[in-house]
Structure 1
């Protein structure tokens, strides 16, 4: 069964940003697919599909490794 989770990522502005974040997230164990809705100047939505839930701290670390940060979800 596939699990899907959305994350808001701050600071992404171009295709290179998308590639960097996708590469880091895809390297996480269990991640099958990463899709990015790029929104320059705003938080981009990153959808991660995996075979089991991914630890949010691992996602935060992978996004940080790519040079970006997760936005805290707004209520």
Structure 2
């Protein structure tokens, strides 16, 4: 009632009630956002492992090419 009175003083229409199903849409958007965020985190983890493997291969090849590799060390 206070809102209606305030709107009458300002001569503006009262705000419309939320549309039906808007909560469901919000839930779907939240679920989609979480899915995309999770996929991004998984992609970053996979990318980190790929970079680590690439660096390992490059360093191993460089050490073996330079002849400083330690063979048969105990």
| TM-score under structure 2 length normalisation | 0.22
Looking at secondary structure, tell me which structure has more helix per residue: 2
| TM-score under structure 1 length normalisation | 0.21
RCO comparison, higher one (Cα < 8 Å, 6+)? 1
Looking at secondary structure, tell me which structure has more strand per residue: 1
